[in-house]
Structure 1
Amino acid sequence: MKLRTYTLTIALLLLIGTSLFAERAKEQLSANGITSIETAYTISKVRTAKKDGSTYLLASSYEGTVLAVSYSGKVLWENQLSGFMNHDVWCEDLTNDGSDEILLANADGTIYCLDDKGKLIWSFKKNNAPMYGLCVIRKNNTPYVVCGGFDKNIYYLSAKGELVKEIPSSLYSIEKPWGKKGYKRIPESNNHTANFLRKIKNADGSEQLCVHGIVNSMSASGSLYLFDALEDRPSKIIKLKKGGPFGDLRVVQSGADKRAEILLGSSGAIKNAVIKRVDLESSEQVDLPMSKLANKKVGHFGYRVVQTERISNGEKEFYFCLFGNSIILLTDEFNKEKAEVLKSKFSFNDMWKDESRNLIVLASSQSGGSCIHVIDPTNLKWKKAYRKLTPPGKISSIISNTNVVKEQVADFKRPDWEREPLPVYLMTEKITPSLENMVRDINMNKQSPVFLNGLHMSKIEKWDRSVLGNQVYEAKRDRRKKYVLSSNEVLDFIRPELKDAPGIAYWGGHGNDPFLVSLATQKRIVDEANGKFVVSIYPELEQYDVNFKYVLDNHFYPLAEYYKGKNAKLYIRTKHTFWQTTIYKPLWSRLMSGEFADVFVPSMEETTDKSMELSLASRMGVWASGAVDSWGARCARDNASFDRSRQHSHQMLPNHFLRTLIYNISNGAQYINNFAVDQEYMSLLWDLIAKGALYVPKRDEILSFSPVHLSMKDPDMTFLDEGSNVKWTTFYNQEFEENNAFVFSRLNGTWPGAPLTEWDFSRYAAGAKERRLNFMPTYENGLVLITPVQKGKFFTESKRGQLADHLHPIYKNILKEYITDGRYYYSADGEKKYNADEYYKVIEEDIKKSASLLPLTVSGDVAWVVAQTDSKYLRLTLIDKGYVNPKDRKAIVKFSSIKIKQVKDILSGEMISISDDSTASIEIPCGAFRFIDIELEDSLSADK
């Protein structure tokens, strides 16, 4: 009896102590209900962990750095770990010492285990496939770390990191890919990757494992597989209905009996976005579509992950849902009429619940923030604070730095030695009422930018396709469009849009259906324009089979012939590795010949991709070769969606768009297909162009190309498939990976955030380290262009001429060509073939040596471009390269064979000093850029 009384007393004291600690913790929080804790890192994931009974915040940054932070805001420790992103984080006490171990599923294929001081205890790695999910479950009170990733297996590890069991998904998976077998691979059936691994706590104290298995990152819901601990096969499988892909899965306790239920949140656009509640006993699935809340202003567009928790406000429990910049409070019945929607100015990367303290923790703003935000739902002021939240730290710095540039641009005058600016065509800008006067002034007084009318046509042409001559494309339709207009009605729609504008841009077709508007009607549109600009946009042209060749021969090329000399453009907005693979197939040879140089404009829709440094070098290589006269760029919400299963792609402050477009335009891009997010913010780009602060170079003015270029022959078909077949998650094959080295590797859907191989072009040439969001690559030895072959066996004579004829005169005698098919390197005569994992050393060394032939090079985490603006002037553009993880950067400029008179920031007026070793150190503020004028002592000519 005494023992029982003693035990109860201890339990009561612990309960009181925990409660008092929670209350003291809340005393550390802000009085307005939201506490913002600055970390200096862009935090991607947040959790809570325990140490000696108290709770602290655990964070993983964009770079993969792990931080422990107290609720008072003190950083307790940090560990840079591998330097690559962590896909999942789990905190649990494995050793029964009262403190949690920190477990991390890393993109380098490793599970890392840290102690409560941030020190590495152990690591586990089976292969190079990224680890994606993990949790801890117990059997007979013994803890097991369960982990899995893109190798299609799950692993049980002991508390010491020893492999206990390996279970391949092929033993039990019911997942099946879809589609017809053709020139694109389809993965094997009855395999999956573990999208989530989570613990289920049963009422009797036992624990089960929940595996969410998927085969595609974009188009499937997958299944829940429920396992008893250590069993090879699931005890239950729940096939999920619509709503996928899913980017969040949580096990919560609900109802009076605290029964476990699964909450899934979709990853994607609002059309298919849902909260899905799954009853584990009945398998019943209840969905709340986010589109039903659109009238409550959750926002109609953007790519978001729905994250939902159970929370209490001190009086009752409810569902707390984070959806981009919206928080949605829901009743147990998911009653949309009673839903309360709160909107902030910013979206956040992650959400977690501190169970012990009843707090919600948010990761940093998706726009590159650096705070952790803690919400106390029992504080009545938190809702108002959320609506007004402007995060301190990097977000405030970005806004402040942007405002400084705006003030500087207002006073800027273009140097009188510069030529007249080249026009930049803004094809799809939304002009809000507050910006109408600004645009009117630009149109009246400036040559650039040129605002075209971007037309959205939900209704398109219905025409007789029986004359088309190809059954496949005769039947093709785009489900998003209504085929109801006659040719005359299309003209009636377009005619008024041409009236008070310099031109129009519209979708002429799409990969789903290239014939949205017929050839005959498109010719009529050009005639109607009568010399005004017409840009016909063609997104997602991925096909390269015999049927698409028919489309090129009977639609695109005849249209290009008609467009020549008429201010009309075919804007080819493709995806993936198109501009280094498909474009070099014979069916596109007429474009590559330069026959239609004034018509075709290469552009990209870089969604789902992880190889932006390649598409940049490829588009610019096509342009530099003379095949086309112009190139284009696009910014859209889902540019950040390199991993479609986790689409935290709802950046509300489009600083990443601003910097990317400045980089592209400073590299000569003239056709911009931008998606509107915050036009007040983006109008700075318009001002930079209009005032001439942003210099738009001709290709023969650019001096930041490496003398070394890589030329593409007909691409290897395996490489082509790897680079374009990117949505399936189950292509990993360890034997194949170990025995096949590629020049461009790890491009398919199994490598989000993964390290690059040592021999990958993206590493040794572009300076990238991972397959992620490298929109502004460093190319510190000069941008290595990916071009058509210039000489030898694989060269084809064409109208476009030689690469050297289109570049700055300094390149005339210093260009060095290497040839590849994406898999191997080849000698110019075709007699020798070199392995990618060996021969790269020769090219890497040549790139480094050739850098000294350029007037200057730049190192540091910055993107850079240099162009000659006059005989004695160079313009150096420097940009913070962190796409969604901006920060203060330092550029080290090394001058080679030129004598410098002075170096000056054209906006701030700051004079920049040069050290004795001919280098200059230039600071680039967080989320910013600098335009540097370099005045030379002597004129720059071909021999200098």
Structure 2
Amino acid sequence: MSRHLKVDLSSMTKQILIFLFFANFAFAQNFSTGGGAIKNGVSGSINGDSVIFVSELEGTTSAHTTEGTLLWRNETDSPAVMFEIEASDINNDGNDDLIAASGNGNIYCWDSSGKLLWKFTPDHKVRFSEVAVINQNGKVQIFAGGNDYKLYELDANGQLVSETKIKGVVRKIEAGNFIEPDKQCLFLMTYNHDKFRWQFFGFIDPISKEIIKSLPYRDATKYGLKAYSKIMITDFVVSDINKDKKDDILIFGDINWKSSFLAVDGDFRLLAKYNATGKDTQRYAHTKGVSLLPYKDEIVFRMGSVMYVCDLKGNLISKTGKKYKNATYSDLVFDAQNKKLFAVGELGAGNSIYGFDLENKNWLDTKHQYLGLYSKVKENINDLYKDALNFKAPSYQKKASKPWMMISKTKLPKEVKKLDFNEVLFIQNSGAWSENTSRADLVEKLGENALKKDRRKKYDLSREDIIEKAKQKEEANEPFVIWAGHGNDPFYTRIETLEKILEAAPNTCYGFIYAEMDNVEDPRVLHFVREYVPRLAKAIRKNNKAKLYFRYKNMFWAMTSHLPLWKELFFSGKYNDILVPASEDTSSRSQEINLVGRVGMLSAGYIDDYSMRLIDDNPTSWRPLSPGGQRTVSPYLRQGVMMAAHGCRIGINFNELFLEKPGMNVLYALMKSGVLPLVEKEDILNIGSWHLIDEVDEHLVESIDSHHNLLQYKDDDDNAVLSVAQMHWSGTSLPEHDFSKIVLGTDYRWNNYLPELPYGMVPIVPSEHKSKLEANNTPFILSTGKVGIVGGEKTQAKEFGGEILSKVKEGAEKLPVLVEGCAWGAVKLDENHTRIILMDQGYLTPEEREATIIFQNRKPKYAKDILKDKKLKIKRSTIKVTVPAGSMRFIDVEY
């Protein structure tokens, strides 16, 4: 028996060794860069060998061999989105150098060894997003563009050669032989809309800068491109796919969330096209593509978690992956020399590169195991989940007197269900019950404007149908809310119908959602505020459950809400018991300001509750260039915890379709177990100073809220207290005097859900709150959003920065605790116990953080990590801790 066992083991050992050998060979081209979250990748050549250059979201660049050896890495000198990198031999030494366009307003050039050759900075602030290189007959021309309506030409030394005025914000610049086989020119595309409707689409002579030919938007139909005028373009590739020795433009994007690919030549003739079917619809997932020419007559592109292979006409050859279920990557890179395709950077957390061997006929079926940062974040989240499931609340922590309320259709797993320290009430979002009732009465009051409707809704229900649906919910005891209006149409559901719904479902109707009604000059909005809301308030108070949920983006809760009409609604004190502010974060660049606005509304008593919104469209600052489709729950989880730590107890959450398990169950486990306490406004302990808004600057508000309009550039946009938040500034770095930069620790305008709060939370409220602050000797600053106010005098933002810093420092000194190095909150549990919540602040750029907790004004006697049940050493009134990448820690302090 033992002899047979020995033989079996020997045989098994050989098989294992063989497997490991081939597994190692198969995965030899999978490696972690060791850096931060990757945004872009390009292939290059150094000393005759292929290399992969990558850029990280916040600007760091690096070069790697295709086997994974780090050649060099240069950290960013000013964090901002690194929009594009290009590999080209700039210094004529036979090796590829790296050119990069940064949202911080610089064009960088590093040589093949990683040495910075030069940096170009204009004499005014620009958000650069595109760069292209023409290298012909020994002459190097570098072209760059961004948001200031100029095309910049630089020489090989980074010196400015010319500036050419153009129409629109640059969306793409590419170099190629588009018109003549042996002569390069520029392809230029500019936008006036945040994702559609090009301003210019055509070719430019690189010497004269004259237009060679262009395609006006209105003429798209003539070229068979009408459908593609509505495509949200997410990637461009230059390749000669019709093999006429002239380059063509390959365009990748989506139409109505379905992957789309097309190619046009220098005469705008359609050469290829592919449209995915409705079965492959993926919300906010981006399409990234490559051409495999000259190795194969194939085009490869990936949208979300599905990868497609097409021929050069766009006919589908094969595809792999299941929507919402497989890996999602930031970019694709083709290494023609080694016949390899690389997927670069996992969305939301990744710093790894994964290889596909194209010489293997089954390359498309290659399965990869997560590596590097993404793998670490996944491990950290799983650890957090396990710890939350095992947590027992300490005796000094009391159960909440009211439930968490999550507007989400969720089925909890058994392990979360059994947690019972605090209750989580799940409420179904029943969508829009848009009714077909006549609007003659509204037309009489508002004119023909009342007939405008939201084209996304059906308006196929009668009032009786809607009342019956509400009755069915009541009979089934199913808590629900409905989406009742939008800026496109505030009257999905009429007021009389809403009143009847509350009567029909007094126990299960939890209210009505309204979104993006920011236009104070719209007579429909005026009618809603002054006619609908008073009636709704009366009806809602009868059932004592329902709320009005308002979703707004940009800086609404800190700025637009201070305009007269909204101030009348949100700051009058008439409706604090029924209003619930939420965010609408699609194409928003200033979430940190929206957060401190809502914390201000709550802490100052203007509202009783506010809401988190954890949705798969959240990572979409500038939609064509900021992909959704994050598979990790980490960004949404930390965002939700950040808000919960500052008094938020309600969520308006769709089912995040891409998320890997355990997904949102981690958040619900934290809530139900008591790890995440339900925070009353008086228990928020990190508010030291305030920002008061006096006579809000209406132009600033309007320019930020006009988020589809890219044509708003002004050279003094950075001279504001709340600066460069317009759509065309997405990805840009913040000036040193900006409120978000000084006070909230935000470096650039992108996805700022997790402000670091170096001086504690600084809420924003109207100037009417001034007397209460003065009575309590609480520091504050006063501004219009554009300029500061000191001693009753308006002060330019660039000079106001010193006043901001002075006041927030004064407020920080009064706090019982201060945290450096990560996002944080501090919550009073009882007179002698505080829970400190530490979070990795990198929303899409997770990394391990070294944090310092500083105790002030009161000496603690004991501190421990409550999830690890580990005592922490307090030395000289400080604790130094590590916050896991993409995760958080919960520390209780006893006084």
Tell whether the structures are fold-level matches, with TM greater than 0.5: yes
**1:486 paired residue among 433, 457, 462:** 462
After superposition, give the CA deviation of every residue in 1:143-177 in whole Å (9 maximum; x if it has no partner).
Answer: 211111111111221111122222111xxxxxxxx
Residue 838 of structure 1: aligned partner:
799
**1:451 paired residue among 413, 420, 426:** 426
Residue 674 of structure 2: aligned partner:
692
1:465 has 2:475 as partner: no
Deviation at 1:535, TM superposition (A): 2.1
The CA distance in 2 between the partners of 1:282 and 1:220, in whole Å, is 16
Residue pairs, 1:428-447, within 5 angstroms = 428-432=407-411, 435=412, 437=414, 441=418, 447=422
**1:161 paired residue among 155, 158, 161:** 158
Residue 305 of structure 1: aligned partner:
286
Residue 214 of structure 1: aligned partner:
191
Partner SS, residue 570 of structure 1: strand
Structure 1, unaligned runs of 5 or more: 1-26, 170-190, 796-801, 805-811, 937-944
Partner SS, residue 151 of structure 2: strand
1:74 has 2:69 as partner: yes
Residue 94 of structure 1: aligned partner:
90
1:592–1:847 CA distance, 2 compared to 1 (3 A): same
Deviation at 1:803, TM superposition (A): 6.8
1:116 has 2:112 as partner: yes
**1:278 paired residue among 264, 275, 284:** 264
Residue 591 of structure 1: aligned partner:
570
Residue pairs, 1:3-402, within 5 angstroms = 30-31=25-26, 35-84=30-79, 85-126=81-122, 127-169=124-166, 191-201=167-177, 204-239=181-216, 241=226, 242-257=229-244, 259-266=246-253, 270=257, 273-281=259-267, 283-284=269-270, 286-290=272-276, 292=277, 294-295=278-279, 298=280, 300-311=281-292, 316-336=296-316, 338-343=317-322, 345-386=326-367, 389-402=368-381
Deviation at 1:436, TM superposition (A): 5.7
Q: Are the equivalent residues in 1 in contact too, given 2:473–2:508 (CA < 8 A)?
A: no
1:37–1:397 CA distance, 2 compared to 1 (3 A): closer
The CA distance in 2 between the partners of 1:422 and 1:500, in whole Å, is 26
The CA distance in 1 between the partners of 2:37 and 2:268, in whole Å, is 41
Q: Are the equivalent residues in 1 in contact too, given 2:563–2:698 (CA < 8 A)?
A: no
Query: What is the TM-score of this pair, normalised by structure 1?
Result: 0.86
Partner SS, residue 58 of structure 1: strand
Residue 905 of structure 1: aligned partner:
865
Deviation at 1:132, TM superposition (A): 1.1
Q: Are the equivalent residues in 1 in contact too, given 2:780–2:807 (CA < 8 A)?
A: no
Residue pairs, 1:725-736, within 5 angstroms = 725-734=706-715, 736=716
Residue 404 of structure 1: aligned partner:
383
1:129 is matched by which residue type in structure 2? Answer: V
The CA distance in 1 between the partners of 2:507 and 2:266, in whole Å, is 65
Residue 514 of structure 2: aligned partner:
538
1:377 is matched by which residue type in structure 2? Answer: L
After superposition, give the CA deviation of every residue in 1:42-96 in whole Å (9 maximum; x if it has no partner).
Answer: 1111012222222211111122111011122111111114333321111111232
1:66 is matched by which residue type in structure 2? Answer: T
1:140–1:472 CA distance, 2 compared to 1 (3 A): farther
Q: Are the equivalent residues in 1 in contact too, given 2:404–2:425 (CA < 8 A)?
A: yes
Partner SS, residue 63 of structure 2: strand
Partner SS, residue 813 of structure 2: helix
The CA distance in 2 between the partners of 1:492 and 1:552, in whole Å, is 27
Partner SS, residue 363 of structure 1: strand
Partner SS, residue 684 of structure 1: helix
The CA distance in 2 between the partners of 1:268 and 1:281, in whole Å, is 23
Residue 24 of structure 1: aligned partner:
none
Residue 814 of structure 2: aligned partner:
853
Q: Are the equivalent residues in 2 in contact too, given 1:268–1:303 (CA < 8 A)?
A: no
1:647–1:769 CA distance, 2 compared to 1 (3 A): closer
The CA distance in 2 between the partners of 1:501 and 1:931, in whole Å, is 36
Partner SS, residue 304 of structure 1: coil
After superposition, give the CA deviation of every residue in 1:312-361 in whole Å (9 maximum; x if it has no partner).
Answer: 797x522111112221111233235x542334622111122223333222
The CA distance in 2 between the partners of 1:499 and 1:687, in whole Å, is 29
Q: Are the equivalent residues in 1 in contact too, given 2:194–2:709 (CA < 8 A)?
A: yes
Q: Are the equivalent residues in 1 in contact too, given 2:202–2:211 (CA < 8 A)?
A: yes
Residue 8 of structure 2: aligned partner:
none
The CA distance in 1 between the partners of 2:181 and 2:564, in whole Å, is 66
Deviation at 1:283, TM superposition (A): 2.5
1:870 has 2:830 as partner: yes
Deviation at 1:682, TM superposition (A): 1.2
What value does the CA root-mean-square deviation take over the aligned residues? 2.4
Deviation at 1:440, TM superposition (A): 6.0
The CA distance in 1 between the partners of 2:359 and 2:103, in whole Å, is 37
Deviation at 1:139, TM superposition (A): 4.8
The CA distance in 2 between the partners of 1:498 and 1:117, in whole Å, is 69
Deviation at 1:486, TM superposition (A): 1.0
Partner SS, residue 551 of structure 2: strand
Partner SS, residue 307 of structure 1: strand
Deviation at 1:524, TM superposition (A): 1.2
Percent identity of equivalent pairs: 25
**2:484 paired residue among 488, 508, 526:** 508
Partner SS, residue 470 of structure 1: helix
Q: Are the equivalent residues in 1 in contact too, given 2:743–2:762 (CA < 8 A)?
A: yes
2:681 is matched by which residue type in structure 1? Answer: R
The CA distance in 1 between the partners of 2:427 and 2:418, in whole Å, is 15
Partner SS, residue 317 of structure 1: coil
After superposition, give the CA deviation of every residue in 1:688-724 in whole Å (9 maximum; x if it has no partner).
Answer: 1111111121000110112x21111231112112321
Q: Are the equivalent residues in 2 in contact too, given 1:32–1:385 (CA < 8 A)?
A: no
Partner SS, residue 790 of structure 1: helix
2:535 is matched by which residue type in structure 1? Answer: P
The CA distance in 1 between the partners of 2:570 and 2:243, in whole Å, is 67
Residue 922 of structure 1: aligned partner:
881
Q: Are the equivalent residues in 2 in contact too, given 1:66–1:81 (CA < 8 A)?
A: yes
Residue 705 of structure 1: aligned partner:
687
Q: Are the equivalent residues in 2 in contact too, given 1:879–1:928 (CA < 8 A)?
A: yes
Residue 547 of structure 2: aligned partner:
569
2:333 is matched by which residue type in structure 1? Answer: W
1:692–1:564 CA distance, 2 compared to 1 (3 A): same
Deviation at 1:839, TM superposition (A): 2.4
2:890 is matched by which residue type in structure 1? Answer: F
Q: Are the equivalent residues in 2 in contact too, given 1:723–1:748 (CA < 8 A)?
A: yes
Q: Are the equivalent residues in 2 in contact too, given 1:303–1:647 (CA < 8 A)?
A: no
Partner SS, residue 345 of structure 1: coil
2:186 is matched by which residue type in structure 1? Answer: L
Deviation at 1:260, TM superposition (A): 2.2
1:152–1:404 CA distance, 2 compared to 1 (3 A): same
1:788 has 2:763 as partner: no
1:307–1:893 CA distance, 2 compared to 1 (3 A): same
Deviation at 1:249, TM superposition (A): 1.2
The CA distance in 2 between the partners of 1:778 and 1:385, in whole Å, is 40
Structure 2, unaligned runs of 5 or more: 1-21, 221-225
Deviation at 1:438, TM superposition (A): 5.7
